[in-house]
Structure 1
Amino acid sequence: MSDTATATISTGTLRGTTSDGVRRFLGIPYAAPPFGENRFREPQPAASWIGVREATAFGPTAPQLPYAGAIGELLGTVRINGDDVLTANVWAPEKADGAPVVLWIHGGAFERGAAALPTYDGAAFARAGIVFVSINYRLGSEGFSVLDDAPRNLGLQDAAAALAWVSREIAAFGGSPAQVTLMGESAGGSLVAALLARDDSRPLVRRAIIQSGPLQAQSASKAGRVTAQLARRLGIATTRAAFAATTSDRLLEARRVQSAGASPMGGAPGFQLALDPDSLPRSPHEVLPEIETPLLIGTNTDEYRLWFPPEALDGITRTKLLIARLALRIPGRAERAYRAEWPEASTGEIFGQIATDFLLRAPATRVALARSAPTHVYEFAWRSPVRDLRAAHAMELGFVFQRAHDPDSVRMAGLEPPRALGLEMNGAWTRFIASGDPGWEPFGSDRLTRLFDARTETVAQRRMESLDLLP
């Protein structure tokens, strides 16, 4: 049974709920709805309201399509209709006062995902004394188009506006604006890295957590390939007027057709962060080594096993691997090192492991090695029994949030995930958010890494030889 809770912020008073010592306030606008005259514009200030606003339900989700194919059977989708998509949600300890804060940014390849997914419930963090905030932001064409005459990286600009909102308003929920940690996974991790790369956002961040997030922004021409192809498919110009005159549903349908059969290593281009003088002047992978923000960063051992279904891996021959390796300028000795590390692996599995490390683990390692600021590195290695997913992309989420027994997590982790692993990971994340020390030594020349598995331990980074051979 829930009781009511109230909080007053600069735009008005909110009525949320309280249960089990946790206050919840959902669907709070941090910016105006990004439609109508605000479509393909920077986020605009949220309007004030008179009286008390109900904050007991999640706000509308950004326009998106559900995942297709095998991934769609594993990853859930939430759709809540409406235009007011730029909202935040807060879970706070009932008696919080100056508590540490974490701002969670969901993943989904920049075109899917929502804060309303059950896995992202922040109660476990609130029960540990953390004020937990999650947000929605613009996705896909609405958030990451590269248009000739419109602002770029609008989804990133939404996240920056949300971070500024947290800095202004979080004290009303018992949080400390001087103790804000950014946290994100996959595309959300990329957005965390990008916010750290921005001179205006970085001063608002005390610490940061990046889970399986690509760290490199692309040139506007490369990031804009998806926009240019969509425009040609629709027969429209790459201008704000043309895209604003096209409905979200039509853009989504064009994207569905365009992306059929795409993968992280080929096929149709995907949405990416674009280098841009106004919203992202430098790539995060260049800035992260230079800044003093403490960082917790890591990847999953078998990220690729979510991206590539078994039949796709089975179809990868030595010739296809050679073509991919040459295109990415990966030396032959790197492939030989991977085969030595994984002697029982098929050619498709070698391809997938190289893809995992090329896209995620090697860039994270290079950043960690180059930093002088406190940096803690982890590898999630627990092997799920479901569909031979092993430690696939996104597998760690149910453990980090202590939601491994929710239906969404069970689809990936099975019915009997180790409870102790969730306690380990949530505890480490909570300690880092509160103090900057997750419980193991920082990464340095010894490359100490926390290995999260059925038995958690700190070890020298695994597979260093093969990692260091990747470009």
Structure 2
Amino acid sequence: MTATAPVVRTAHGPVRGDLRIDGTLRFLGIPYAQPPVGALRFAAPVPPEPWTEPLDATAYGPTAQRRPFAEMTTIPEPSIPGDGVLNLNVFTPAADPAAALPVLVWIHGGGYVAGSAASPWYDGAAFNRDGIVLVSIGYRLGVEGFLHLDDAPDNRGVRDWIAALEWVRDNIAAFGGDPAKVTIAGQSAGGGAVQTLLAIPSARGLFRAAISVSGAVMRPQGRDLAETVSALFTARTGVPAAAAALRDLSDDELIDLQDRLDEDGPEREALPMVVLAPFADGELVPAPVHEALVAGTAGADVPLMLGCTAHEFDSMEPRELGAAVTDAMFRVPATEIATARARAGSPTWLYEFAWEATAPAFEGLAHHCVDLPFAFDLLDAPGVPEALGEAPPQALADAVHGAWVRFVRDLDPGPEWPRHTGDSTGAHLWSA
């Protein structure tokens, strides 16, 4: 914090951020809902209590991630302790209400059980340089966010996304953004979040465009599956799948129970790869997301950019099996959505990211997450050499990031990337 630290007034109270060396502004850890603890742990998000003195927004707030997805993750994903995990970060060129800049809201990945909005890969500096406000959000994960409980609202993590978007609608003008020009974007579970939000009637009007990067949606996705997962949770842990039984457990105790749900076994093998995830509850999420998007009954009027990398999970298992997972989880669903939307006349752009990393762990692969430093134009961010290799091509970052900027600003990534058509069989190819 400096003597010229900016202060912006939100609907709940003033926040004090940082003036960065490049002249842009950063506000970190702003609460968009009350801490989900005690009676609120498994409740729908509740607006923050108002405050009067400027809130220090110069450090990232607590994360719902208490343990990383794995001992080593491709993306640096800090875990920050604390109760107030329902917070967001705003990166802006200027906190001037008259600026009315387009806004990109970023939803992190992590299989719906991990991930962190505090990752240095999600810094908004390059988007700010190009006239876009970036907001990154945290949300409840795993059991707290997505396990069906008989005595709690379903899809609590989804409700968190909506609450964050409502905060953006009500507050982003004070940070220089235009609430009528919001694009939502996310990768992996975050890409699945984008697809889910497209299928939710109550989210309509909170964004005008969407980017789904390697989006993963649970299939099948019906309420019956969610109830099966809850029954398996109870059978394996001996603890009822109920807020009353889980509310007072420590974070470690809850994660241990979550791990037991996911252990190998015939009951688990009969379920989708990801079981703690958004599901069609018949109310907030009225129908299975993929089916709704392919049928054209959801998000048809929202411009959508979607795709995947060429070798999403090829490095994580035998190459042939990894390729099959890439097809089943990412390439085929994205192509089905894009083709159905295009045939219905919905504005859609499909891509495949095929640039191959040179880092030893991923050499020769366009693996899961490899595209993000290019999209954010952050090739110098921590962890990039380990994930991509030395000297990844800046020209490719210029092209990918430029297409994102044009899409967020103009609702079209530019003439070099034409809209997907109903007769298209391929996708726009990103490669060096």
Using the size of structure 1 for normalisation, the TM-score is: 0.83
> How far does the alpha carbon of each residue in 1:401-453 deviate from its partner, in whole angstroms, 9 at most, with x for none?
11222222222101221111111111110110000111210001134522111
Farther-moved stretch of structure 1 (174-183 vs 399-408):
399-408
Maintained 8 Å contact 2:362/2:387 = no
Which residue of structure 2 lines up, in the alignment, with residue 457 of structure 1? none
Alpha-carbon distance in 2 for matches of 1:146, 1:396: 33
Equivalent residues in 2 for 1:174-253, closer than 5 Å: 174-215=176-217, 218-253=221-256
Partner of 2:312: 303
Which of 231, 253, 275 is matched with 1:270 structurally? 275
Task: Tell me the secondary structure at the aligned position of residue 176 of structure 1.
Answer: strand
Higher helix share: 1
Q: Evaluate the alpha carbon distance shift between residue 242 and residue 135 of structure 1 in structure 2; reply closer, same or farther with a 3 A threshold.
A: same
Q: TM-score, normalised by structure 2?
A: 0.90
The one-letter code matched in structure 2 to 1:84 is: G
Give the CA deviation at 1:37.
Answer: 1.2
CA separation of 1:176 and 1:238: change in aligned 2, threshold 3 A: same
User: Who wins on radius of gyration, i.e. which is larger?
Assistant: 1
CA deviation after TM superposition for structure 1 residue 216, in Å = 5.1
- Closer/same/farther in 2, CA of residues 264 and 431 from structure 1, 3 Å limit: farther
Could you list the per-position Cα deviations for residues 307-334 of structure 1 after superposition, in whole angstroms to 9, with x for gaps in the alignment? x2xxx41xxxxxxxxxxxxxxxxxxxxx
Q: Does 1:384 align with 2:354?
A: no
Give the aligned residue type for 2:87.
T
Cα 1:265–1:402 change in 2 (3 A) is farther
In the TM superposition, what is the alpha-carbon distance from 1:43 to its structure 2 partner?
0.5
Distance 1:5 1:88 in 2: 17
Aligned with 2:257: secondary structure?
helix
Q: CA deviation at 1:167?
A: 0.7
1:118 is aligned to 120
Is residue 367 of structure 1 aligned with residue 342 of structure 2? Answer: no
Structure 1 residues 129 and 450, CA gap change in structure 2 (3 angstroms) = same
- Matched residues in 2 for 1:13 and 1:66: separation? 32
What's the secondary structure of 1:100's corresponding residue? strand
Shift of 1:282: 1.5
1:285 to 277, 284, 290: 290
Listed as ranges, the matches of 1:52-67 within 5 Å are 52-67=54-69
What's the counterpart of residue 46 of structure 1?
48
Structure 1 residues 268, 365: CA separation in 2 closer, same or farther (over 3 Å shift)?
A: closer
Cα-Cα RMSD:
2.2
Q: Which amino acid aligns with 1:284?
A: V
1:441 aligns with one of 418, 423, 428: 418
The 8 Å contact of residues 69 and 113 in structure 2, kept in 1 or not, is answered as no
Note if contact 2:362-2:388 (Cα within 8 Å) is conserved in structure 1: no
SS at structure 2 position matched to 1:406: coil
**In 1: Cα distance, 2:276 partner to 2:235 partner:** 16
Q: Which residue of 2 aligns with 1:17?
A: 18
Q: Which runs of 5+ in 1 are unaligned?
A: 314-348, 455-471
Question: Which residue of 2 is the match for residue 462 of structure 1?
Answer: none
Change (3 A) 1:417 1:91: same
Which of the numbers 169, 172, 181 marks the counterpart of 1:170? 172
- The counterpart of 1:357, out of the listed 318, 327, 344, is 327
Unaligned runs of 5+ in 2: none
Contact 1:405 1:417 in 2 (8 A): no
